[in-house]
Amino acid sequence: MTLSDPAPTFWQRLQDLLKNKNIRRMMYGLIVLASAVFIAYAVYSNWNEFKTQQWDFNYPYIILAILLYPAGMLPTVAAWHKLLQAMGVECSFQTNLRLYSLSILPKHIPGFVMFVTSRSLLYQEEKVPAATSVTATGAETILLALTGFISSVLLLFLGVERIGQFSVFRYAAPAAIILVLIFVFWTPALNRLVQKILARRGIQQVPQLDQKQTVFSLLWMFIAWAGGGLILFVLVQAVNPLNWSLLPVMIGTWGAAGAVSLTIGIGIQGLGIREVTLGALLSLVMPTLTAIVIAVAFRLVLTIGEVIWVAFFVWITKKPSAKLEGISSE
What residues contact 74, with CB distance under 8 A and at least 6 apart?
97, 227
Q: Identify which has the larger pLDDT, 7 or 169.
A: 169
What residues contact 54, with CB distance under 8 A and at least 6 apart?
none
Residues 79 and 217 sit within 8 Å (Cβ to Cβ): yes
Is the whole model's pTM more than 0.85, yes or no?
Answer: no
pLDDT at 151 over 60: yes
Crossing angle, helix 247-264 and helix 211-237, to 10 degrees?
Answer: 120
Burial class (CB in 10 A: 0-12, 13-18, 19+), 76: buried
CA 107/CA 105 separation, integer angstroms:
5
Mean of pLDDT values over 8-18:
51
pLDDT at 53 over 50: yes
Q: What is the pLDDT of residues 230-242, one digit of tens each?
A: 999 999 999 888 8
pLDDT value at residue 93? 94
Coil, strand, or helix at residue 87?
A: coil
pLDDT at 245 over 80: yes
24 — pLDDT class (breaks 50, 70, 90)? low
pLDDT at 222 over 50: yes
Lowest-pLDDT choice from 118-122, 177-181, 224-228, 255-259: 118-122
DSSP track, 31-48: HHHHHHHHHHHHHHHHHH
CA 224/CA 74 separation, integer angstroms:
8
pLDDT value at residue 5? 43
Residues 242 and 285 sit within 8 Å (Cβ to Cβ): yes
Q: What is the pLDDT of residues 292-309, one digit of tens each?
A: 788 888 888 888 898 899
Q: How far is CA 323 from CA 93, 95, 320, in A?
A: 24, 19, 8
- Other residues' Cβ atoms within 10 Å of the Cβ of residue 55: 14
pLDDT value at residue 327? 41
pLDDT value at residue 323? 44
102 — pLDDT class (breaks 50, 70, 90)? confident
pLDDT at 278 over 70: yes
What residues contact 198, with CB distance under 8 A and at least 6 apart?
135, 206
